[in-house]
């Protein structure tokens, strides 16, 4: 359990729903108060993503263009050579990223994959970047190997509520995800865990997702809130778009429930106006994915993000390493 008395892990569903139901101005005000008590309100942390192994995934996540089961037009690629990964990390650092997140389209990695990923982690860390990987389900031994290799963060999302989960993914269970998250936490690796909204889930599902995240034994250090990126060929293509105000409310409720976590405005920014992103920052988001690509889909161009930050008077920062 967390030692900090401000951090709660006993949220009840009706309390989360009550936050969601606040008048918008009251919700944003409350989120700002919490945000300012824990963070510099004008500073945003930026992470860059790289897909180190793309496509041909055996899982059936209904949102994902990398599943082998769906006919999206991505080109599958084997695990990247280390020099190419380090080149991309250097470019991300030169553009100002403080964390480099490497994603692989695996259900679970093989032990020999872990050795190659550890080499990548060590190379990226040597550049002074924080490291994050997202590789699917892990065994105890693999988790400890990543920790010994110096990994800072592991990303593994709950994605949605336990109730809605089986509508989206059938090839692994919610409990499988919780088990991997517990391994990562127990190994002493920082946890990056959030979800996706706009997948056709209900208000209750969104509240339950946040309840699940905040009631983990320790809040994830990073909480990515993704807006579904609808990709042609995936089952979730054509889902009714989520009201942007509900997305902003989700960010604000996450901020209030997990006061010390970096809430990341994650996938979906390419379809958001500057004004909507500004409202997300006002609601307490203080991290973004930065760089022209997410894993396989487009993200805003870096110069567009830097221009928005300049207009908002936002500074980048938040790394645990010296710049």
Residues 248-277 vs ligand SF4: string with x where CB under 6 A?
------------------------------
- Taking the complex as a whole, the smallest distance from the CB of residue 13 to ligand DTB amounts, in Å, to 23
CB 61 to ligand SF4: min, Å: 3
Using CB under 6 A, which of 109, 149, 220, 224 touches ligand DTB? 224
Which listed residue (226, 250, 277, 286) binds ligand SAM by CB under 6 A?
226
Closest to 121 measured CA to CA, from 223, 52, 168: 52
Buried b (16+ CB within 10 A) or exposed e, 273-288: eeebbebbbbbbbbbb
Segment contacting ligand DTB by CB under 6 A, of 13-21, 163-171, 202-210, 224-232: 224-232
Measuring CA to CA, which residue among 98, 125, 192, 100 is closest to residue 154? 192
Of the candidates 293, 296, 300, the residue with the CA atom closest to the CA atom of residue 271: 300
Q: For the chain, give me the number of helices (H) and strands (E)?
A: 11, 10
Judged by beta carbon, residue 134 or residue 222, the one nearer ligand SAM is 134
Query: 270 and 204 in contact (C-beta within 8 Å)?
Result: no
- When computed from its CA atoms, the radius of gyration of the chain, rounded to whole angstroms, is 18
Draw the binding track, 102-121, toward ligand DTB (x: CB under 6 A; -: no contact): -x------------------
Provide the 8-state DSSP code for 74. Answer: P
Binding site for ligand DTB (CB under 6 A): 49, 65, 103, 134, 155, 157, 194, 224, 226, 229, 266-267, 294-297
* Interacting residues toward ligand SAM by CB under 6 A: 63-64, 66, 103, 105-106, 134, 136, 156-157, 159, 196, 226, 228-229, 231, 267, 295
């Amino acid at each position: 359990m967390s030692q900090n008395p401000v951090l709660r892990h006993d949220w009840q569903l009706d309390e989360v729903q009550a936050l969601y139901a606040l008048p918008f101005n009251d919700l944003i005000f409350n989120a700002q108060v919490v945000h300012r008590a824990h963070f510099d309100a004008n500073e945003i942390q930026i992470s860059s993503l790289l897909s180190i192994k793309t496509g041909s995934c055996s899982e059936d996540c209904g949102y994902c263009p990398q599943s082998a089961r769906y006919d999206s037009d991505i080109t599958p690629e084997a695990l990247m050579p280390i020099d190419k990964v380090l080149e991309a990390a250097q470019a991300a650092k030169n553009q100002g990223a403080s964390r480099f997140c490497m994603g692989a389209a695996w259900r679970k990695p093989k032990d020999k994959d872990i050795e190659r990923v550890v080499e990548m982690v060590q190379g990226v860390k040597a550049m002074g970047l924080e490291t994050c990987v997202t590789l699917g389900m892990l065994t105890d031994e693999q988790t400890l190997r990543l920790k010994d290799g110096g990994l800072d963060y592991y990303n593994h999302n709950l994605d949605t509520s336990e109730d809605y989960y089986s509508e989206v993914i059938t090839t692994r269970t919610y409990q499988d995800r919780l088990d991997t998250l517990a391994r990562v936490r127990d190994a002493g690796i920082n946890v990056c865990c959030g979800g996706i909204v706009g997948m056709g889930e209900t208000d209750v599902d969104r509240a339950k997702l946040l309840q699940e995240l905040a009631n983990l034994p320790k809040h994830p250090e990073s909480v990515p809130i993704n807006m579904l990126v609808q990709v042609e060929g995936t089952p979730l293509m054509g889902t009714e778009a989520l009201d942007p105000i509900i997305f902003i409310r989700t960010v604000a409720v996450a901020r209030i429930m997990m006061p010390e976590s970096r809430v990341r405005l994650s996938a979906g920014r390419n379809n958001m106006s500057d004004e909507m992103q500004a409202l997300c920052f006002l609601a307490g988001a203080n991290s973004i994915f930065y760089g022209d690509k997410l894993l396989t889909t487009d993200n805003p161009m870096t110069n567009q993000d830097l221009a928005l930050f300049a207009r908002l008077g936002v500074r980048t920062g938040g790394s645990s390493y010296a710049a």
